[in-house]
Amino acid sequence: MTPKDVLALAKEKGAKQLDMRFADVPGLWQHVSYPITELKEDTFEEGFGFDGSSIRGWAAINESDMVLLPDATTAMIDPFFDVTTLTMIGNVIDPITRQRYDRDPRYIAQKAEKYLATTGVGDTCFFGAEAEFFIFDNISFDSKQNEAFYFIDAEEGRWNSGRRENNLGYRPRYKEGYFPVPPMDHYQDLRAEMVETMIACGLDIECHHHEVATAGQCEIDQRFNTLVKSADNMMLYKYVIKNVAYQYGKSVTFMPKPLYADNGSGMHCHQSIWKGGQPLFAGDGYAGLSQMALHYIGGLLKHARALAGIIAPTTNSYKRLVPGYEAPVNLAYSRRNRSAACRIPMYSASPKAKRVEFRPPDPSANPYLAFAAMLMAGLDGVLNKIDPGDSLDKDIYDLSPEEMKAVPSMPGSLEEALGCLEEDHDFMLKGDVFTEEFIETYISYKRKNEADAVRLRPHPYEFSLYYDI
């Protein structure tokens, strides 16, 4: 769309409000609304002023004035607001220099795409992200100086099988929720409405299904797209899912591990590089990969521990990334084997389908930062011809202790992941995609507000373990 197209769309749909959106550093959409009369053709060059000092991970109070420039290509009519509202994603700029703001996650993703083109390796990076989520009926939580708790309930939760009243059974067993038909799958109709709303918003959806865990774990798969567009789509995906569920009186979380002793939610990321409309990851090497693809894998594996601070960016992420459980913490690659961090899907022999699936990320990640960081790691592998080593085609969880010692693994905590990112981030600074200042600010924010904040608080289970000591 052009600015004129956007104004025509607003008029055609009778829009009365404009809603501008952007992502903070942790990865939540923020928004500000205006009467539609405030949107004119020159607005796309002048933008809207706003205060950025209260946005998480952003400017200090002395440099808080910022400007949102509407991106006409993201325009759509919001499907949830009662008042007809046109929405657009905004690019953040400095009002004095008129330069892009370095802490805007979308700008970082846009710089990563531009850097790819400058390397000559390719001109397009495609991402296909599979974000899983839970649908709950009730959630409450609090943390104070003298108490801390959470309580989750879901009609579909296996723990409700013993309920005496209003109980019709049909609840997935723990770790056995993958693909059952209704009535065991309670959320076919709800997911279908989510999908139809996404399609109406312009998303390209491939399939949807129940996932492994009980209590409403689900997945809806989007078709791959270019890096920035895929990140934009992931933000919209989360927005639609949460709001459709809310209209049904239910709550959705993309928290990676909300339930103890059942599967967590991942965000497996399929990646490939193309040039001139041709796929570059297909070849005659292992699993039908090109040498470029193997080097890309080498980059992902070499930098995976540093990537962890961005692709698995919460303390809760490391309740999912646990050795011996469902998540791939071991840094190896394999065709078909889902216990490897890098998997090469073998569904199709078409060169266009050849890609690498990186499995450690989870949906708590900011998609702009996560996709950009993964591309930078993969490109470092390609440019420096990093050997990924030998493939690992047997079940990693069946390896002997001696064999396991030779397989590196993901960090075991957010604090460890941030330490790895602190030590290994030069590959992210190439092309000024990430800046040293942004990395330092990100690590400081995560340590103070998340890692330390959780570490310093007594855990409820510690009272079960230690109160009588």
Could you report the per-residue pLDDT of 127-137, keeping only the tens digit for each?
Answer: 999 999 999 99
Average pLDDT estimate for 39-60: 90
Average pLDDT estimate for 76-99: 96
Examine the pLDDT at 74 and tell me if it is beyond 80: yes
Distance CA 469, CA 458 (A): 15
- The pLDDT of residue 60 is 62
Average pLDDT estimate for 205-223: 97
Q: Distance of CA 292 to CAs 300, 344, 348, 444, Å?
A: 12, 14, 19, 35
- The pLDDT of residue 129 is 97
- The pLDDT of residue 414 is 98
For 13-27, the pLDDT digits (tens) are 999 999 999 999 999
DSSP labels, 198-213: HHHTT--EEEEEE-SS
Q: Which of 243, 239, 271, 449 is nearest to 370 (CA)?
A: 271
- The pLDDT of residue 379 is 98
- The pLDDT of residue 5 is 97
Average pLDDT estimate for 164-187: 96
Give the model's confidence band at 54: pLDDT under 50 very low, under 70 low, under 90 confident, else very high.
Answer: confident
Q: Tokens in use for 165?
A: 């009243």
Lowest model confidence (mean pLDDT) among 30-39, 62-71, 221-230: 62-71
For 148-169, the pLDDT digits (tens) are 999 999 999 999 999 999 999 9
Give the model's confidence band at 399: pLDDT under 50 very low, under 70 low, under 90 confident, else very high.
Answer: confident
Strand partners, 153: 138
Q: What is the pTM of this model?
A: 0.96
Give the model's confidence band at 397: pLDDT under 50 very low, under 70 low, under 90 confident, else very high.
Answer: low
Tell me the percentage of the chain whose pLDDT exceeds 70. 97
Contact 25, 366 (CB under 8 A): yes
Q: Tokens in use for 155?
A: 């009609």
Contact 255, 316 (CB under 8 A): yes
Examine the pLDDT at 221 and tell me if it is beyond 60: yes
User: Average per-residue pLDDT in the chain?
Assistant: 95
Examine the pLDDT at 396 and tell me if it is beyond 80: no
Q: Distance of CA 15 to CAs 6, 204, 318, Å?
A: 11, 24, 44
Residue 68: which H helix or E strand, with range?
strand 65-70
Distance CA 373, CA 182 (A): 39
Average pLDDT estimate for 163-188: 96
Average pLDDT estimate for 94-103: 92
Examine the pLDDT at 61 and tell me if it is beyond 60: no
Q: Among all chains, which residue has been given the structure tokens 């409700």?
A: 160
- Please calculate the CA angle 78-362-75 and round it to the nearest 5 degrees: 20
Average pLDDT estimate for 174-195: 97
Q: Distance of CA 451 to CAs 314, 415, 436, 447, Å?
A: 8, 6, 21, 5
- The pLDDT of residue 340 is 85
Half-sphere exposure of 93 (CA within 13 A, CB side): 17
Examine the pLDDT at 291 and tell me if it is beyond 80: yes
Sign of the four-CA dihedral 130, 136, 142, 148: negative
Average pLDDT estimate for 235-254: 98
For 309-354, the pLDDT digits (tens) are 999 999 999 999 998 766 788 899 998 776 789 999 988 889 999 9
- The pLDDT of residue 326 is 63
Q: Which of 358, 180, 150 is nearest to 255 (CA)?
A: 150
Examine the pLDDT at 124 and tell me if it is beyond 80: yes
Examine the pLDDT at 62 and tell me if it is beyond 60: no
Phi (first) and psi of residue 253, to 5 degrees: -130, 140
Contact 109, 372 (CB under 8 A): yes
* Residues identified as active-site: 51, 130, 132, 211, 219, 268, 338, 357, 359
Tell me the percentage of the chain whose pLDDT exceeds 90. 88
- The pLDDT of residue 404 is 75
- The pLDDT of residue 382 is 98
